[in-house]
Amino acid sequence: MGFRIFFLCIGTVGALLLAGPSMAQEARGATADSVTILTNTIRWPGLVASVFVIAGAWLLLRLTTRLVEELGKAFVDSRLTLQRLLAFFRFFVFFATITSVVLLSLEISREVLAVIGGTLAVAVGFAMKDLVASLVAGVMIMFDRPFQVGDRVTFGGQYGDIMSIGLRSVKLRTLDDSMVTIPNSLFLSEVTSCGNYGVLNMQVMIDFLVGIDQDVERARDLVREAAVTSNFVYLPNPVDVLVSQVFENGQAALRLRLKVYVVDTIFEKALETDITLRVMAAFRAEGIRPPDILHRAVAAEAGESTAMLAEAGA
């Protein structure tokens, strides 16, 4: 995070100070004298002060991030709110740092503003177009809010939690603890699916398959019982078990789809594992068989009948 601020600020100042004559020509009327004007307006003590400003911003963000992490552990119900406030605070620090570095490093005058306008047009258009596109997209994400920090989302084949929304990119941590960085500009043209949208609880769907000749009503009761007794379920929301007929591996089966809410998104897989294990144990105890076992049993019975008929014929 600190290096990102440093390179962003240095890149902004560098684009203003090191623009060559060719770039000035493309900026409609600027000449080699533009470079001279910019060089004469450099405030060298301000450049030194800018280094301390960048270091201070980096230290402030590090301390603030650590503080929010500790507060999130102590006040779990306020964890998402704290993370969203941290995202806004980062935006403020980024903009304040860039503005401070520019003001400290340059003597701003009308001539300088004219030169800056020309060089920025070229720099932004050619060297920083992707960064600016992501910056604009980041601002739109913050105000349009297709998702928030802490939400569990699906985007571009990636599924996980939004950890931060930065100037250039969004960081998403997948369920296997991998950190994925996604440029903000991609969110403007692709569909994002958000599972919880600003709250801790989220709906989880778990499927179970049983044979078509099994006691589906009893199986449904067992699935529901396992769900409502789980330590990870959010009971204020409804628990539903939907039954439908499907075809698996060329044979008919009954699918029991459990729709249940987890108390916190971080326990999604723990909830799924807990309910699945207890449902499987209950099915075994009640003699409720899945379609593949039913298929083998029918095949075995058919084989035995064929053998008996063959023996009788002999």
The DSSP secondary-structure symbol of 233 reads B
Identify the band that residue 39 occupies on the pLDDT scale cut at 50, 70 and 90: low
The DSSP secondary-structure symbol of 234 reads -
Torsion (CA) 299, 302, 308, 311 in degrees, nearest 10? -80
The Cα–Cα gap between 150 and 148 comes to 6
**Is 27 within a domain?**
yes
160 and 231 co-located in one domain: no
**Is 302 within a domain?**
no
Which of 194, 211, 244 corresponds to the end of one domain?
Answer: 194
**Is 133 within a domain?**
no
**Buried (b) or exposed (e) across 228-258, using 16+ Cβ within 10 A?**
eebebbbeeeebebeeeeeeeeeeebbbbeb
- Around Cβ 20, how many Cβ atoms within 10 Å? 12
230 and 284 co-located in one domain: yes
| CATH code at position 242 | 3.30.70.100
**Is 117 within a domain?**
yes
190 and 206 co-located in one domain: no
Contacts of 237 (CB under 8 A, 6+ apart): 201, 203, 261
The Cα–Cα gap between 86 and 65 comes to 7
Identify the band that residue 304 occupies on the pLDDT scale cut at 50, 70 and 90: low
Domain count, the chain: 3
**Is 311 within a domain?**
no
161 and 215 co-located in one domain: no
**Buried (b) or exposed (e) across 84-109, using 16+ Cβ within 10 A?**
bebbeebeebbeebbebbbebbbeee
186 and 237 co-located in one domain: no
45 and 119 co-located in one domain: yes
214 and 251 co-located in one domain: yes
pLDDT mean across residues, the chain: 81
54 and 166 co-located in one domain: no
177 and 272 co-located in one domain: no
**Is 111 within a domain?**
yes
The Cα–Cα gap between 210 and 289 comes to 6
174 and 212 co-located in one domain: no
Which of 139, 164, 194 corresponds to the end of one domain?
Answer: 194
Q: What is the pLDDT of residues 273-292, one digit of tens each?
A: 999 999 999 999 999 999 87
Both tokens assigned to 292: 């593949």
**pLDDT exceeding 90 applies to what percent of the chain?**
40
Residue 229 structural domain: 202-297
Segment 100-115 shows an average pLDDT of 74
* H runs (alpha helix) in the chain: 2-17, 21-26, 32-40, 44-74, 79-105, 110-122, 129-144, 216-228, 268-286, 291-313
Which of 175, 194, 213 corresponds to the end of one domain?
Answer: 194
| CATH code at position 178 | 2.30.30.60
Q: pTM, whole model, 2 decimals?
A: 0.62
Identify the band that residue 20 occupies on the pLDDT scale cut at 50, 70 and 90: very low
The Cα–Cα gap between 294 and 252 comes to 11
Contact 192, 147 (CB under 8 A): yes
**Is 313 within a domain?**
no
116 and 156 co-located in one domain: no
**Is 276 within a domain?**
yes
95 and 172 co-located in one domain: no
Identify the band that residue 46 occupies on the pLDDT scale cut at 50, 70 and 90: confident
Torsion (CA) 278, 284, 285, 286 in degrees, nearest 10? 110
pLDDT value, residue 6: 47
